[in-house]
Structure formats: C-alpha cells, structure tokens
C-alpha cells in the first residue's frame, strides 16, 4: 500500500523549506523510523509529499566549536555514536542513543527525528535536556537558536511548524569536573520506548555537587527537568541523607502515569528512585576521570 | 549408520537461504484477485442485518460473500461448533452470532488489496450485543450467558480420574501442599502470518495453497463446509513459516476455497489471494489455553508422594478447537511423571468470549506440569529433601501404573533423564542421596541468583483412542542399482526439518545416497493422509511409515521387480479413551522424557528476570539428525522462556489489548538464555523408527516450573502465576510500594 505520492530529496535547506511551504500535505522525513510506522498504522494524518532531509549538508554537520558539539539533525545515530567527542564530552547522549532500537534502526534514525517526534521519554531528547542542548531551527523567516523544551507543545506534539526544520543541536561540552550519564529501564525485549529513563549532568567541586541537571521521562507531557530535585542536590555531598531527600523530592515533583500493558505509575515511581541513585552515582564517578582516559564500556547495545 | 544419526544439511536449506523457496504469501498466480475478511471486532452479538450494497458498488470489487453463501456453515477439528461466516441466512442454527472478536463475517474480493480493504469498511452490520463472559469460573455458573445455547452449558468437556482413595491417603501424609495456579495465554507468533491462494485447478478441484499442519484434515474440513466430495478439494502446502500448533485449526483455508468456488460458479475463474497482517493473525487464530489449577498433594516423611488431588479448568474461548484433546493431555500429565497410588482429577473445558484456545507446543502439558512440578518442588522444600532425590523416589519406572491405571509403554527412561540432567547441572549423588549444587553467588547485592529443577513427559502421537495412522509411498527406479527413490508423503515440514528426516530414513533403509531420494510432498492430490505435524509425532509416524515402505520395496527390488511401488500405512498399537467414571485407559503408545535445570538472575531493583543457563536433557530415542534436535531444544527453550518470563497476552472484556508485536513481547536475541546446554539422550523406543521418539514439544514442558523454582531459590518466594514480568516480580518480593496518597 503506497503511503505517499511524491518523494523529494532536496540538496539544500532552502529547497527543503520551500518544498514544505509549497506542497500541500507535505512532511519532513529523516530516518523514517517513527514517521513511516505512524503512517502505516494510521496514527498520522495522511501525507501526500515527503521531503527527505538526509542529503542536506547543513544537517549533516558533526563538529566541535567554541566549547560545544554541533550535531547535525539528520546524521544517522550510528555515526553520532562513532564520533569520539560525543563519547567524551556528552557521554549521556552517547549512552542514550546507543540504546535506541537496534543496529538497523540506528543506521537510519536521527536526533532531529527523535526530538521532532516529541515523545516525553525519547532517549535522545532526555539526554539532550540533561546536557542543556540548544536547538538550531530553520524556517522561511531565517534561523534561530532555542532551548530544547521550546520544541515541545505536548505529548507527541511538536511546537515546530510544518515548514520548520531542525538543523542541528548545540551541546555544551563537559569540562573538567563535569560529567554526564544516562540510564533507562526497558521492558524486557529492549526495543521501542523506555518505561523510564533519566539523564544527569553534574559539576563537582571537591566532595560536593556544585551544579546539576536531571532530565526524566516520561513524566508529564514533555521531557521533564526535575528542578526541585536538582535544588536539593546542589551544594550537597553525595551521601545517603542527600540521596534519600532527593529521592523523596523527585517522587513528589515527577508526574508518572500508568501506560496500559507497559508499566503502572506505581512501578515508575519505584524506578525513579532506582534510576536516580544509579545515574547519579555513575555521573559522579565519571567526574573524576581525565578526558584522556578511557571511559570504559558504556552500556551500549550490540 | 550412514544417514540416520548424521547432521546432514536440511533438504530445504539452499532454497530458503537464497530466497528461492516460496512461502504461501509469496505465491502469486496470473490474474489473481485479492481478498479481505471482515472480522466481527466484537465479542458477543447477534447479527441482525448485513448490508453489502455499498461495498459491492465500489469500483474494483468483484464479489462480497456472507453466511448465506456458505453451503454448510459449520466447521471444527473435533466438533463443528463454529460458523465459517457468522450472520443471517445460514443453514445452521445460532450461526447468526459472533462469539469472539475474530469471528469472520464477510469476505470481500477485489482487484487490489486496497480496494478490498476499503470495501470491507463499507459493509454495514447491525449487531445486537449479548452479555459477554470472559472469566472461565464465571462461565461455569448455571446463570452464565451461554455461548452455544443449543448446548445448555458452557462446560463442553469434563474428565475424571479416580485411582485409590485420596481422602484416606491424605490422612496418612506427613506433609500436604496445596496450591492454586494460573497460567497465561500465549500467541504462536510464527514468522509467517496466515496467507494463501485459492483457485480451481486443471482438473476442476477447488484448490488452496496455504500453510497448515495436516493437508488431509484441511481438505476434509473444507469439503464438509462446502458440501463437496473429498476428491473435489485439493490442499497444497508450500514452505511453511512456523506453526507450533497454531495452524492445526482453520483460519483462511475454508474461506479461500469458498471464494474460489463461488467465483467459479459465477463464471469468474480467477485465483484469490489473501495475506493476513500480524494484527489479523493475532486475533484470527487460537491461543494457548489459560488454566486455573487447584492442587493438593501429600507425601510421607520418607519422601513418597501418596496422594494427589487436582482440579483443572481450561478457558476454551469461543469454540472447541482442540480443547477436548488438550484437556485430556493436561488431565493425564497434571500428576507429573510420578507413580502416585491415590489420584483424583476433575478437569473442565469452558466456553468464554475470549479468543478460542487450542493446540500450542506442549498441548496442555506446560500448564499441567507447571502445577505438578511446582507442587513437587514445594513438597521437597517442606520435607527438607533434595528435589532430585524426591523425584527419583517417585518417578515412573518400567511397569509403574499411571494415574489412569495402566503402565506406560516399554522404554520408560525418565529416571535416567533426571539423573543425567541433574549431573550436568552440578548435582551430586552422595551416600545420603542427591545433593544440589551450592547456590550461585550474587554478583551484586541487588542481583539475586538461583537454580531450579523440573522434569516432564509427553505422548508421541495421537492419544485416547484416536485411530492413529500414517501413509507413505515409495517408488524405486533403476537397473542394477537403485538410481532414484521417490518418497511421497503428506507430512508437513513446519520448519522443524521433518522432510530432511524423511529423506534420511529413506536413504538409510534403502542403503542409497541421500541425493538419490526425491521427495514429493504435502499435496492431497499426490500424497496420502499422514496425520498432522503435531503431538511430536512426525519423525515417529512418518519415519515408521517410510521405513516399512522402504523395507517392503527393497524386498521387491531384490526379487528383481522394476520399477517398484509400495504404498504403506503404518498403524501403531491402539489406545483407548478415558473411562467416564474412573478415567481408566491406555492413553498413548509412545512417550518422550525430559528434565531441565535453569539458573536465573533477578534484578531486585527493576524486577527483571534473566535466564543465565538452561540444561535440557531430552530422551529422543534416536537423534536422526542431531543438529535439528538441538535446534528443537534451543527453540523450545526460547519459546518457553518467553512463556515463563515475558509474553503477556492481555484480553479485556473479550478484546485483545496486545494486538501488535510491539505490545505483545516475544523474546528477542537480547532476552534468550545466555547458554542452553542440550543433552541429547538416546534410550531407544522399542516401536520408534531406528528407536526414535519425538522432540518437538518436550523441551518446552518443564522450563516454566524450573524457572519458578530458580526464582524461589534466589528469593525465597514461590510464584503461582506467570509470566514473571517485572511488576509481578517486584510485587511478589514486596518491593513495589503502593502509591503515596497525593
Ligand atoms: C524498532 C524501533 C525501536 C525504537 N527504539 C527507540 C528507543 O529505544 N528509544 C527512542 O527514543 N526511540 C526509539 N525509536 C523511535 C525512533 O527510532 C527515534 O525516535 C528516532 O530518533 C526518530 O528519528 P527518524 O530520523 O527516524 O525520524 P522520522 O521518523 O524520519 O521523523 C519523525 C518525525 O520528526 C520529523 N522530523 C525529522 N527530522 C526533522 C528535522 N530535522 N526537523 C524537523 N522535523 C523533523 C518528521 O517530520 C516526523 O514528524 C524506535 C523506533 C523503532 C522503529
């Protein structure tokens, strides 16, 4: 069954933007791992024209510049994973996208799609939020850099307009004493979306957490920053008393729900404590590693 | 031996690896039309009216068929209790009602699949909903809504076993263990969803090419529903993408034949093709029976089990399918492979508005043995006795009487199988009996490990009085030596490798190279009735038929006959049905025996249970093709691991909530046990071809109780319900706290 009528492969951003403006019922497509499934299962309004973003040079960027990583929105995840700076300076992101789907999915899936699909527990998005990534968005009016959460309108609803394209993500590189980690709990089979995931970035000062960002999914309609929990942890040593307090606050500020046949809210609240302790501990230990050192095996799925 | 016992390449390997082999979905015929089925999508209702006019008016629609177009609107493998198409105008009473969401209501045939789907959605059906009953215990109540009003009760099968006097025996027991066990449903999830083509062949036969398990039974059911003589119906199986029992009953067979026939009668001679989506497959074919089992077993302090009382209730879903046979098996196996002097069993199969349940690898055995083996493991705990030691003190031996009052056929090997498995898993035989290996070390404080043990047995071949038989034909051509042997056989190769085994047995018996054996297979026009690829019977039955046909052919060959043609029917010793009062019978003519040990790890933070290692010892009599046997063991262990740990088929009020493979999780390569040690044992069956028994189902049987025991070893908690999904595990461990009141 054909699910589109026209398929364009523009070479430039301008071309892509004008196609999206001009063609009725048009839609951008990157790896298609979310979009094609939704179209096939009838969960997406029908489209006539697909505009393929995979050949546009501006969306294929992978570079370090002025203390930040620039990751093109349509670079396939397997290439992002293989790019050493991601592993060293944005470890949580490397861990997160290494867990997405299986090798076949990662060969084509992209970070642009992961964010534009707008699920509150997308692994890439949770890691990007913890890393305080900015998003470079192109529209017919020009380009703008905006915070990640400005891309979200609700569960599975992006705030981006049809003729707006994510060009790249700007991810601040971890500096000395800074580190990040990502953990998730899956249903046993280990594909598809996480039951719960968490990304943590922190900066350490001696035996205390100087600064921290915690992102959790799925809590509420979009990727969730646990700001009250962060506040509890800021300036504290990583001891049992702090952890217990942080766990309590996280469970009160997060909004977990039951998803039928996947997980109950009860289970998710339980996991929040488990994930907080594990992720925090890992990020904390990583702050002591020199960047020149190997990080050791990440929980990367073969 | 030159061929039997060798891991020769499968005869179907090259074609499947290169993609040359056609599965039913790949078969395309010139000028074919496409069919879509309108499913009821509601669990219980009377169809008051069907209006197909809008669908018929759609451009590209060739025909729409409903109940009134079915010549004899009933079918069923054991009893014809299901309409082919539900709706008014049927020749059978009560065929105007739908009883589960996958009941078929109308067929649309069109130029393309898209048009057929569109037209299907234009059909208007007026339903009058009926009360829905989905709980098997509720369905047994006298005031429950009846699914089949002509039957007067939803209980459609009841067996009894009465051996000795359990009441008196319980008084003599030092320990008594009682349990209530619930087992889940399971989806077959074969690789290839239902698909096929139907057409009128060059000799005017209504012909279908589909995947199934028994060509001649499909033929018979089609002929019955279409009111045709058998010889006017032809069933051909191309390559089959898995079955596991899920293709024993009809899905698309009758409706494909019906469509081809009715089009032909209208002067339209076009093949009809259908392919079910995964979602259609999941609601369209039966599932494994959920069981509720109440058990009470007692033993003396010497470790002798002297009484077992069992009550089994099986949710049959909307129609009988093979429920009566599955229940029979469960009734026999629910007291395990043990000689118990006093046994009382009552078992029931019940209609509900759930998806019908039927054959699935193990055929009632996994459910029955989950209860029996868990009872045994709990008895061992209560007695302070090793689980292997307790089993060996009670196990069936040559001459022991089954619960049904008769001995097993000769070649009883369960004691040896238990011992071999135990040894491989680290048990030791000491002066004071068998001793389990030390508990495995926990790799982290929250990761708990444990080892569990269970065993089982199961019949090879059809049971309880069924006139079991299997045909084979052998033709020999050549001059001084046999240049070519043609073996004709209907037996289905559902992926297990049956055809390779047939060729090996022929080559061995005839003493010729394997390459000289040509197989003509699975076509009712060219081969005789072989019985089904089920009950772990194909190697045993086909093997015997082919071996004996080859022996007879050789004799003629030696007498200088050229060419030789032998048609041979193998019939094993007769069996008998349960006595209605006492259950006394001779249930089976052959068995396979199995024991397994499982090592698990529980993540007590997330609730995930991981299988680290499984040792599976299977007495297969003779491994005709050892690597295929290993494939069966590993495949069964993986499928059983899914059953035990993650496959969670959810139905609510008659609707399936897990209709996709993204919501119904089967094991992926990430979830399978890290290590499976297949111990292939060969204690020959006196009746088996070259001693062979069967293997398809046995390695599925004891895995769940072994895993449950391993989880108990790790955590101290007995689970009486599975799959062991994370939340169930955490609740069982008391780790999932109720939500804080907000
Ligand atoms: C088997 C399987 C397993 C999966 N497992 C996971 C998992 O473990 N974790 C997880 O988070 N996700 C998972 N996913 C979901 C999916 O793979 C990811 O969300 C992926 O990152 C989407 O990227 P894509 O390029 O394929 O997006 P597409 O499907 O191409 O696009 C998704 C949406 O984003 C829009 N879009 C794409 N690129 C842009 C852009 N540059 N600018 C604006 N809009 C854009 C499209 O128009 C569309 O609406 C899985 C999917 C499958 C099929």
Is A72 touching ligand 1 by the criterion CB < 6 Å?
no
Is A221 touching ligand 1 by the criterion CB < 6 Å?
no
Kindly report, residue by residue over B282-326, the tens digit of the pLDDT: 999 999 999 999 999 999 999 999 999 999 999 999 999 999 999
Inform me whether the pLDDT recorded for B564 exceeds 70: yes
Kindly report, residue by residue over B355-364, the tens digit of the pLDDT: 999 999 999 9
Of B646, B736, B738, the CB nearest to A188: B646
- The confidence score (pLDDT) of residue B34 equals 98
Kindly report, residue by residue over B14-43, the tens digit of the pLDDT: 999 999 999 999 999 999 999 999 999 999
Q: How many residues belong to chain B?
A: 742
CB B332 within 8 A of CB B591: no
Q: How far apart are CA B184 and CA B642, in angstroms?
A: 11
Domain positions in chain A are 6-52, 178-185+192-286
Kindly report the protein residue whose alpha carbon is nearest to atom 37 of ligand 1: A113
What are the strands of the beta sheet with A208-217, ordered from one edge? Answer: A178-185, A196-205, A208-217, A224-225
Chain B environment of A260 (Cβ under 8 Å): 657
- Chain A touched by B608 (CB under 8 Å): yes
Chain A environment of B732 (Cβ under 8 Å): none
Ligand 1 centroid vs A100 CA: distance in angstroms?
10
Is A123 touching ligand 1 by the criterion CB < 6 Å?
yes
A266 with B658: Cβ contact below 8 A: no
Grade residue A158 by pLDDT with cuts at 50, 70 and 90.
Answer: very high
In CATH terms, is domain A6-52 a member of 3.30.43? yes
Is A32 touching ligand 1 by the criterion CB < 6 Å?
yes
List alpha helices for B334-489, DSSP H: 365-383, 387-394, 414-424
Chain B environment of A105 (Cβ under 8 Å): none
CB B273 within 8 A of CB B355: no
In CATH terms, is domain A178-185+192-286 a member of 1.10.3720.10? no
Long-range contacts of B88-96 (CB under 8 A, 24+ apart): B88/B47, B88/B48, B88/B49, B88/B50, B93/B150, B94/B148, B94/B149, B94/B150, B95/B67, B96/B46, B96/B47, B96/B67
Is A49 touching ligand 1 by the criterion CB < 6 Å?
no
Grade residue B740 by pLDDT with cuts at 50, 70 and 90.
Answer: low
Of the candidates B547, B569, B571, B573, the one whose C-alpha atom is nearest the C-alpha of residue B471 is B569
Of B650, B727, B740, the CB nearest to A264: B727
The DSSP call for residue B263 is: H
- Chain B touched by A248 (CB under 8 Å): no
- Mean pLDDT value across chain B: 97
Strands B291-299 vs A152-154: parallel, antiparallel or unpaired: unpaired
A188 with B727: Cβ contact below 8 A: no
The DSSP call for residue B645 is: I
- The confidence score (pLDDT) of residue A102 equals 87
Q: How far apart are CA B480 and CA B543, in angstroms?
A: 27
> Which residues, in sequence order, are CB contacts of B432 under 8 Å at separation 6+?
none
Residue ranges of B 111-140 with Cβ closer than 8 A to chain A: 113-114
Grade residue A41 by pLDDT with cuts at 50, 70 and 90.
Answer: confident
A270 with B657: Cβ contact below 8 A: no
Partnered with residue B128 across adjacent β-strands are B46
Q: How far from A62 is each of A83, A291, B175, B528, CA to CA, in Å? A: 8, 19, 70, 66
CB B375 within 8 A of CB B188: no
Kindly report, residue by residue over B381-400, the tens digit of the pLDDT: 999 999 999 999 999 999 99
Inform me whether the pLDDT recorded for A300 exceeds 90: no
B739 with A192: Cβ contact below 8 A: no
CB B9 within 8 A of CB B627: no
Inform me whether the pLDDT recorded for B276 exceeds 50: yes
Q: Do domains A6-52 and A178-185+192-286 have the same CATH topology?
A: no
Ligand 1 centroid vs A35 CA: distance in angstroms?
7
Of the candidates B472, B470, B471, B434, the one whose C-alpha atom is nearest the C-alpha of residue B453 is B434
Ligand 1 centroid vs A115 CA: distance in angstroms?
8
Q: How far apart are CA A54 and CA A76, in angstroms?
A: 9
- The confidence score (pLDDT) of residue B314 equals 98
Chain A environment of B667 (Cβ under 8 Å): 188-189
For every residue of B433-468, DSSP letters joined together read: EEEPPPPPPPSBTTEEEEEEEEEEEEESS--TT---
Residue in the block written with tokens 């059953």: B643
Question: Which tokens belong to A246?
Answer: 């942080």
Is A160 touching ligand 1 by the criterion CB < 6 Å?
yes
Of the candidates A60, A271, A69, the one whose C-alpha atom is nearest the C-alpha of residue B730 is A271
Task: State the CB neighbour count (10 A cutoff) for residue B203.
Answer: 10
Q: Hey, what domains does chain B have and what are their CATH numbers?
A: 31-130 (3.90.1170.50), 291-463+580-732 (3.30.365.10)
CB B224 within 8 A of CB B259: no
Q: What is the mean pLDDT of residues B223-240?
A: 98
B605 with A274: Cβ contact below 8 A: yes
Is A218 touching ligand 1 by the criterion CB < 6 Å?
no
- The confidence score (pLDDT) of residue A261 equals 77
Of the candidates B365, B442, B446, the one whose C-alpha atom is nearest the C-alpha of residue B699 is B365
Q: How far apart are CA B313 and CA B139, in angstroms?
A: 11
Is A117 touching ligand 1 by the criterion CB < 6 Å?
yes
Of B114, B650, B668, the CB nearest to A189: B668
Kindly report, residue by residue over B459-507, the tens digit of the pLDDT: 999 999 999 999 999 999 999 999 999 999 999 999 999 999 999 999 9
B668 with A271: Cβ contact below 8 A: no
- Chain A touched by B739 (CB under 8 Å): yes
> Which residues, in sequence order, are CB contacts of B386 under 8 Å at separation 6+?
B380, B427, B433, B434, B435, B436
Q: How far apart are CA B618 and CA B632, in angstroms?
A: 11
Residue in the block written with tokens 């069981």: B291
Kindly report the protein residue whose alpha carbon is nearest to atom 44 of ligand 1: A116
At B14 the three-state DSSP class reads helix
- Chain B touched by A301 (CB under 8 Å): yes
- The confidence score (pLDDT) of residue A302 equals 41
List alpha helices for chain A, DSSP H: 13-22, 35-40, 77-82, 84-89, 91-98, 103-108, 111-116, 123-130, 227-233, 240-253, 265-286
Chain B residue with minimal CA distance to A195? B606
Ligand 1 centroid vs A110 CA: distance in angstroms?
6
At B390 the three-state DSSP class reads helix
Ligand 1 centroid vs A117 CA: distance in angstroms?
6
Q: What is the mean pLDDT of residues B416-445?
A: 97
| Helices and strands of chain A, counted as H and E runs | 11, 14
B606 with A271: Cβ contact below 8 A: yes
Is A128 touching ligand 1 by the criterion CB < 6 Å?
no
Residue in the block written with tokens 């999932």: B736
- The confidence score (pLDDT) of residue A173 equals 97
Strands B342-351 vs B305-317: parallel, antiparallel or unpaired: parallel
Q: How far apart are CA B74 and CA B224, in angstroms?
A: 8
Residue B328 CA to chain centroid, in angstroms? 14
A188 with B737: Cβ contact below 8 A: no
- Chain A touched by B725 (CB under 8 Å): yes
Residue B555 φ then ψ, to 5°: -60, -45
State in Å, rounded, how far the first CA of chain B is from the last one: 74
- Mean pLDDT value across chain A: 93
- The confidence score (pLDDT) of residue A3 equals 86
Chain B residue with minimal CA distance to A277? B605
Percent of residues, chain B, with pLDDT higher than 70: 99
The DSSP call for residue B527 is: S
- The confidence score (pLDDT) of residue A262 equals 84
The DSSP call for residue B582 is: T
Kindly report, residue by residue over B640-681, the tens digit of the pLDDT: 999 999 999 999 999 999 999 888 999 988 889 999 999 999
- Chain B touched by A61 (CB under 8 Å): no
Grade residue A40 by pLDDT with cuts at 50, 70 and 90.
Answer: confident
Q: How far apart are CA A121 and CA A215, in angstroms?
A: 10
Q: How far from B562 is each of A214, B485, B508, B551, B566, CA to CA, in Å? A: 84, 12, 20, 15, 12
Report the predicted TM-score, pTM, of the whole model to 2 decimal places: 0.95
Residue B331 φ then ψ, to 5°: -65, -40
- Chain A touched by B277 (CB under 8 Å): no
Grade residue B732 by pLDDT with cuts at 50, 70 and 90.
Answer: very high
User: Exposed e or buried b for every residue in B221-256, given b needs 16+ CB within 10 A?
Assistant: bbbbbbebeeebbbbbbbbbbbbbbbbbbbbbbbbb
CB B714 within 8 A of CB B645: no
Is A53 touching ligand 1 by the criterion CB < 6 Å?
yes
Dihedral, A133, A134, A140, A142 alpha carbons, nearest 10: -150
Which ligand 1 atom sits closest to the C-alpha of A77? 21
Inform me whether the pLDDT recorded for B524 exceeds 90: yes
CB B465 within 8 A of CB B185: no
Inform me whether the pLDDT recorded for A292 exceeds 50: no
Grade residue A1 by pLDDT with cuts at 50, 70 and 90.
Answer: low
Q: How far apart are CA A126 and CA A123, in angstroms?
A: 5
Strands B305-317 vs A165-172: parallel, antiparallel or unpaired: unpaired
Which ligand 1 atom sits closest to the C-alpha of A30? 30
Question: Which tokens belong to B351?
Answer: 């209609």
Kindly report, residue by residue over A175-224, the tens digit of the pLDDT: 999 999 999 998 766 667 899 999 999 999 999 999 999 999 999 999 99
- The confidence score (pLDDT) of residue A260 equals 82
Of the candidates B269, B164, B121, B161, the one whose C-alpha atom is nearest the C-alpha of residue B207 is B269
- Chain B touched by A271 (CB under 8 Å): yes
CB B42 within 8 A of CB B127: yes
Q: How far apart are CA A124 and CA A76, in angstroms?
A: 12
Chain A environment of B737 (Cβ under 8 Å): 266, 270
- Chain A touched by B146 (CB under 8 Å): no
- The confidence score (pLDDT) of residue A295 equals 57
Question: Omega into B291 within 30° of 0, i.e. cis?
Answer: no
């Amino acid at each position: 069954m054909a699910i589109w009528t026209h398929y364009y492969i523009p070479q430039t951003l301008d071309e892509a933007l004008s196609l999206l403006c001009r063609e009725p019922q048009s839609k951008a497509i990157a790896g298609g791992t979310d979009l094609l499934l939704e179209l096939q299962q009838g969960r997406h309004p029908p489209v006539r024209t697909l505009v393929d973003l995979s050949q546009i040079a501006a969306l294929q960027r992978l570079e370090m510049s002025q203390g930040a990583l620039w990751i093109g929105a349509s670079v396939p995840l397997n290439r992002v994973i293989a790019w050493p700076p991601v592993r060293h300076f944005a470890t949580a992101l490397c861990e997160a996208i290494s867990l997405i789907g299986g090798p076949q999915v990662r060969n084509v899936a992209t970070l642009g799609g992961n964010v534009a699909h707008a699920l509150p527990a997308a692994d890439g998005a949770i890691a990007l939020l913890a890393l305080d990534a900015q998003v470079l968005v192109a529209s017919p009016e020009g380009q703008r850099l905006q915070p990640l959460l400005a891309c979200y309108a609700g569960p599975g609803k992006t705030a981006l307009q049809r003729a707006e394209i994510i060009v790249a993500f700007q991810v601040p590189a971890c500096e000395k004493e800074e580190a990040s980690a990502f953990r998730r709990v899956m249903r046993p089979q280990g594909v598809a979306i996480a039951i719960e995931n968490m990304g943590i970035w922190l900066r350490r000062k001696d035996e205390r957490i100087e600064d921290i960002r915690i992102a959790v999914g799925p809590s509420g309609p979009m990727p969730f920053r646990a700001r009250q929990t962060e506040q509890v942890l800021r300036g504290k040593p990583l001891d049992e008393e702090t952890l217990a307090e942080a766990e309590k606050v996280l469970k009160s500020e997060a909004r977990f729900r039951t998803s039928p046949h996947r997980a109950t809210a009860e289970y998710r609240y339980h996991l929040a404590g488990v994930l907080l302790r594990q992720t925090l501990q890992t990020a904390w230990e990583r702050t002591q590693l020199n960047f020149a050192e190997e990080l050791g095996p990440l929980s990367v799925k073969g | 031996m030159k061929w039997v016992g060798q891991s020769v390449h499968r005869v179907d390997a090259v074609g499947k690896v290169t993609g040359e082999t056609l599965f039913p979905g790949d078969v395309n015929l010139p000028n074919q039309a496409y069919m879509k089925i309108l499913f009821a999508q509601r669990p219980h209702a009377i169809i008051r009216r069907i209006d197909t006019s809008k669908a018929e008016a759609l451009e590209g629609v060739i025909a729409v068929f409903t109940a009134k177009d079915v010549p004899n609107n009933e079918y069923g493998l054991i009893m014809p209790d299901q309409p082919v198409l539900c709706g008014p105008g049927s020749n059978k009473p009560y065929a105007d009602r739908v009883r589960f969401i996958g009941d078929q209501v109308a067929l649309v045939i069109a130029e393309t699949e898209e048009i057929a789907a569109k037209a299907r959605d234009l059909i208007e059906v007026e339903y009058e909903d009926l009360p829905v009953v989905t709980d098997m215990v509720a369905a047994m109540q006298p005031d429950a809504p009846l699914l089949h009003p002509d039957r007067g009760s939803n209980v459609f099968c009841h067996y009894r076993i009465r051996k000795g006097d359990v009441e008196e025996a319980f008084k003599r027991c030092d320990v008594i263990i009682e349990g209530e066990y619930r087992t889940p449903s399971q989806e077959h999830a074969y690789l290839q969803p239902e698909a096929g083509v139907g057409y009128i062949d060059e000799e005017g036969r209504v012909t279908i090419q589909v995947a199934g398990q028994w060509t001649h039974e499909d033929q018979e059911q089609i002929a019955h529903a279409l009111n045709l003589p058998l010889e006017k119906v032809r069933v051909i199986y191309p390559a089959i993408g898995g079955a596991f029992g899920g293709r024993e009953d009809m899905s698309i067979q009758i409706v494909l034949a019906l469509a081809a026939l009715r089009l032909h009668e209208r002067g339209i001679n076009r093949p009809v093709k259908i392919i079910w989506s995964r979602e259609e497959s999941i609601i369209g074919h039966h599932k494994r029976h959920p069981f509720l089992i109440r058990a009470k077993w007692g033993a003396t302090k010497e470790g002798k089990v002297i009484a077992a009382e069992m009550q089994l209730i099986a949710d049959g879903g909307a129609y009988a399918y093979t429920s009566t046979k599955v229940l029979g098996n469960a009734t026999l196996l629910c007291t395990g492979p043990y000689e118990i002097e006093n046994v009382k069993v009552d078992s029931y199969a019940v209609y509900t508005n759930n998806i019908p349940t039927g054959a699935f690898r193990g055929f009632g055995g996994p459910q029955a043995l989950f209860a029996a083996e868990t009872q045994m493991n709990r008895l061992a705990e209560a007695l302070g006795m090793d689980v292997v030691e307790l089993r060996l003190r009670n196990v069936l031996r040559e001459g022991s009487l089954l619960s049904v009052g008769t001995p097993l056929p000769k070649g009883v090997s369960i004691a040896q199988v238990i011992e071999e498995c135990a040894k491989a898993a680290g048990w030791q035989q000491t002066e004071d009996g068998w001793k389990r290996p030390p508990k495995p070390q926990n790799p982290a404080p929250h990761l708990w490990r444990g080892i569990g043990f269970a065993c089982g047995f199961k019949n090879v071949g059809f049971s309880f009085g069924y006139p079991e038989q299997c045909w084979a034909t052998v033709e020999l051509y050549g001059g001084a030596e046999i240049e070519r042997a043609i073996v004709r056989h209907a037996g289905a190769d559902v992926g297990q490798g049956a055809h390779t085994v047939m060729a090996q047995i022929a080559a061995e018996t005839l003493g010729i190279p394997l390459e000289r054996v040509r197989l003509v297979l699975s076509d009712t026009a060219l081969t005789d009735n072989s019985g089904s690829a089920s009950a772990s019977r194909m190697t045993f039955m086909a093997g015997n038929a082919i071996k004996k046909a080859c022996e007879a052919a050789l004799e003629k060959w030696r007498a200088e006959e050229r060419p030789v043609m032998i048609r041979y029917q193998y019939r094993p010793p007769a069996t008998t049905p349960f006595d209605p009062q006492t259950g006394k019978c001779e249930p089976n003519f052959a068995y396979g025996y199995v024991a397994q040990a499982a090592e698990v790890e529980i993540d007590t933070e997330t609730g995930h249970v991981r299988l680290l290692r499984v040792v599976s010892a299977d007495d297969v009599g003779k491994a005709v093709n050892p690597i295929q046997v290993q494939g069966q063991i590993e495949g069964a262990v993986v499928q059983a691991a899914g059953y035990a740990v993650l496959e969670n088929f959810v139905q609510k009020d008659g609707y399936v909530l897990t209709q996709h493979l993204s919501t119904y999780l089967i094991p992926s390569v990430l979830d399978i046990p890290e290590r499976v040690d297949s111990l292939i044992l060969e204690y020959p069956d006196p009746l088996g071809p070259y001693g062979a028994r069967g293997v398809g189902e046995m390695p599925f049987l004891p895995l769940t109780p072994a895993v449950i025991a391993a989880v108990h070893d790790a955590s101290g908690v007995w689970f009486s319900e599975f799959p062991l999904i994370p939340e169930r595990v955490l609740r069982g461990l008391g780790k999932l706290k109720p939500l804080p009141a907000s």
